[in-house]
Structure 1
């Protein structure tokens, strides 16, 4: 495994990410213009979405039902596990919800780096995995905010009997429209879902037009984006230190826990080695685009330096350097 980790560490995408961290630590004047940073983000979202749509057009609905259910299961269960862990750590409710939404959602760029890793190792994966990225973006955000509303307003009553243990809502208006709008129609999900549908409808007819920009140049653009992410991550590391060693451990250990759960689910639903690895990567990653955007409006009291600091300053580099090859090796052992 050490050879795979070293090989991944010496890949261009990781080295440019590390270069960005070094530049931030030593306070270099290197800086990406806001417009370029936004443009690179939009490019990656469209590229992943449209490639996923084209690949998805090759599969029947029956062949993707089980993986889709597995992805939705992960998006729902991970926030509950996160909140339980943070309750043990004794983190306050608002910040626990912020981390539950962040770690339950996914990192598009981590997924993109994992694809590059698999392609470099010659490992095939199901094309519809790109579609699962879209499906795993929103559920965790909605579930986390629903939990916050439920706990804060005490709008549920426990129901316990010999046949049923659960909760009965007293009100169906637990989440306001702005939260739903941000979770389903925010930039990342809109672009991913929209480009996915375009690729699905057009299929192979879209390839001649999209291949030169969105396929051939993908890895090169990813390098630029990760250089910028390295700059941002380097600036966030100090913020994580302010909140204690326990949170630092959370940002390092939970990706492995969630990644293992994702790999187990991928194996159960019948994915290949590459697909199972990607399911683990998605489960073990943390969002720093969709979730923070939703949290900013729906949970304003949650501290961004905690959920963004951990996701971008700790978990993202951990997954990029160590996590991806570890998930790959675990997937090989399980399969």
Structure 2
């Protein structure tokens, strides 16, 4: 039932429409500048609202454990992924893919938050901070693994590389914007927040619909490119997200009783980065093939999480509760 409800959600139907447009070779497209604006808007909106929630609830034990667990997941997942992938791929490709799956997707998170809103389920604003803090560790771990397995690397080069990539991860546009919006929302008063509510809340779903249409078009193109890469990358990007998502779900059950927080934690564990990590890997691991790790994260894992993963974890949580 939840899967059917999720598929009939207009935002997700527009995502499928974008995928279909590519398969039918339609000339439908969203202007690049409009796509960038919508991405910025969604990050500002979700970050600001998360900051407001955080300011109302204060810092609790649950929040601290959630942040620590997020960092732990972002550290362990890329290591596990690398050990699995290294058997079939070069060190550079294995590290780049591992970093992608250890990091998170802000768009998947926003979609899951929209799903919770559709189901009228509340979630804590601190989950925004958990998402933001999970971006950087996985990127750093990916580079560390690469430096360890790459021959003829000096310590100085490793240190410079790590410093550079950590700075890039923290100042990445998506991470910087959502953290900044979170802080602004945290310090804004309720009256100030209500003043911009028509912008941060009322038009959110409309922009999400158009953005997911654009993501559907992009995913459809990446999906086509993924087919030529063989069965192994396809299996990894389809199966492993569910394993990571279930691990995150089990961890979340020990941290919180809030179904919304548990679902978001699950989807953070299952999602893969296709924005922050590719931008970082382009400079840190030029040997890695973006035609491999980008289609895996965006062409396979993203739609699997959006169409199947979110209602799947939600159904499990409904049974548990």
TM tier, smaller: over 0.9
Q: Which runs of 5+ in 2 are unaligned?
A: none
Show CA shifts across 1:111-157 (max 9, x none). 1111111122222222221221111111111111121112215779x
Matched, 1:266 2:252: yes
Between the aligned partners of 2:153 and 2:164, the Cα distance in structure 1 is 20
Deviation at 1:274, TM superposition (A): 1.3
Query: Which secondary structure state, in structure 1, belongs to the residue aligned with residue 272 of structure 2?
Result: coil
Matched, 1:118 2:116: yes
**Pairing of 1:253-332 with structure 2 (within 5 A):** 253-332=239-318
CA change 1:76–1:271 in 2 (3 A) is farther
Q: Aligned residue for 2:35?
A: 37
CA change 1:288–1:170 in 2 (3 A) is closer
Moved over 4 A (4+): 153-156, 169-172
Between the aligned partners of 1:241 and 1:37, the Cα distance in structure 2 is 26
Q: Aligned residue for 1:162?
A: none
**Pairing of 1:1-335 with structure 2 (within 5 A):** 3-63=1-61, 64-88=63-87, 90-153=88-151, 173=159, 175-335=161-321
Between the aligned partners of 1:174 and 1:96, the Cα distance in structure 2 is 21
Query: Which secondary structure state, in structure 2, belongs to the residue aligned with residue 30 of structure 1?
Result: coil
User: Matched residue pairs, number?
Assistant: 320
CA contact (8 A) 1:105 1:137 kept: yes
Show CA shifts across 1:249-287 (max 9, x none). 111101100100111111122241111111000110111
Query: Which secondary structure state, in structure 1, belongs to the residue aligned with residue 124 of structure 2?
Result: coil
Show CA shifts across 1:11-50 (max 9, x none). 1111000000011111111111111111011111111111
CA contact (8 A) 1:56 1:127 kept: yes
Query: Which secondary structure state, in structure 2, belongs to the residue aligned with residue 179 of structure 1?
Result: helix
Between the aligned partners of 2:159 and 2:129, the Cα distance in structure 1 is 30
CA change 1:173–1:225 in 2 (3 A) is same
Between the aligned partners of 2:174 and 2:26, the Cα distance in structure 1 is 29
Between the aligned partners of 1:173 and 1:264, the Cα distance in structure 2 is 35
Deviation at 1:334, TM superposition (A): 4.5
Deviation at 1:81, TM superposition (A): 1.1
CA change 1:78–1:333 in 2 (3 A) is farther
Query: Which secondary structure state, in structure 2, belongs to the residue aligned with residue 142 of structure 1?
Result: helix
TM-score computed with the length of structure 1 as normaliser: 0.91
CA RMSD of aligned residues (A): 1.9
Higher helix proportion (structure 1 or 2): 2
TM-score computed with the length of structure 2 as normaliser: 0.94
Between the aligned partners of 1:12 and 1:106, the Cα distance in structure 2 is 24
Between the aligned partners of 1:149 and 1:205, the Cα distance in structure 2 is 50
CA contact (8 A) 1:50 1:195 kept: yes
CA contact (8 A) 2:147 2:158 kept: no
Query: Which secondary structure state, in structure 2, belongs to the residue aligned with residue 286 of structure 1?
Result: coil
Between the aligned partners of 1:85 and 1:271, the Cα distance in structure 2 is 33
Query: Which secondary structure state, in structure 1, belongs to the residue aligned with residue 256 of structure 2?
Result: coil
Between the aligned partners of 2:14 and 2:105, the Cα distance in structure 1 is 18
Q: Aligned residue for 1:166?
A: none
